[in-house]
Homo-oligomer: A and B are copies of this chain.
Amino acid sequence: MSSSSAVPAAKPPIRDALVAAAFRLFLERGYEQTTVDDIVGLAGVGRRSFFRYFPSKEDVVFPDHERCLADMTAFLAASGAEHEPVRRVCDAARLVLRMYAENPTFSVQRYRLTRQVPGLRAYELSVVWRYERALAEYLRERYAGRPDGTLRADVIAAAVVAAHNNALRSWLRSDGEDDAGAAVDHALRYVQVTYGRPADTPAAPGRTGPAPASGQPEGPEDVVILVSRRDAPLWRLVQELETALGRT
């Protein structure tokens, strides 16, 4: 994971205190009933301190998304031609999971809050959209010049985000009890099997380690996919299979 120079190395304690005060009040009296004045009062700082860290009350609910978006952008920018694109965006999505899994109690509390307050739901959708755009922009660059490159990029980015969020929501609904990493690995594997290059796709269920890098010899468990029109002659299909399997 790359770090961005725009992101401070350590969180200032005031910022943490504001988040803690805000969540204590949101849980006690509700989000709508809590004002910024209430939050700064409990945290023992002035109003201006609040707005130095958070543009609005909504932003204090999602204090780490900007950092995570910056990390994701830096991670994708640090990619090379040796990275299989679908695997790379799956790994980028895991940065989001890591942020949630770092603090399960906070993540579960926020999940419940977000489901109760429509304004927070809308805010969250705009954050999810920014993650999806970051993944899509990266894929669009990697697929530039390919037929349907932008279509493929947009669809895969959406599939990655949907798979990630399916697993993340299951984990949040389990009150953070389940294994978040395993659930997200499983969900992202589904996308990788669908869209990734066979050599970069973990094929065996339960295998969570890194897939072989592109260019390395493929293992026996790698998946071969042959797509053909029904009216293609059988000899032609066998020829394609032999080539794909490296047995010619």
Closest-by-CB residue of B relative to A218 is B230
Size class of the A contact interface (CB-based, 8 Å): 35 or more
Residues of chain B with a CB closer than 8 A to A194's CB: 155, 194-195
B225 and A225 form a contact (CB under 8 A)? yes
The reply on A12 being an interface residue by CB < 8 A is no
- Closest CB-CB distance, A143 to chain B, in whole Å? 12
A229 and B223 form a contact (CB under 8 A)? yes
Contact with B along A132-158 (1 / 0, CB 8 A): 000000000000000010111011011
Q: Which 8 A-B pairs have the closest CB atoms?
A: A158-B162, A220-B231, A158-B158, A226-B226, A222-B230, A154-B166, A154-B162, A125-B125
The reply on A126 being an interface residue by CB < 8 A is yes
Q: A231-B221, A234-B245 are in contact. Are A163 and B159 (CB under 8 A)?
A: no
The reply on A48 being an interface residue by CB < 8 A is no
Contact with B along A200-233 (1 / 0, CB 8 A): 0001000000000000001111111111111110
- Closest CB-CB distance, A164 to chain B, in whole Å? 10
Residues of chain B with a CB closer than 8 A to A155's CB: 159, 162-163, 166, 190-191, 194
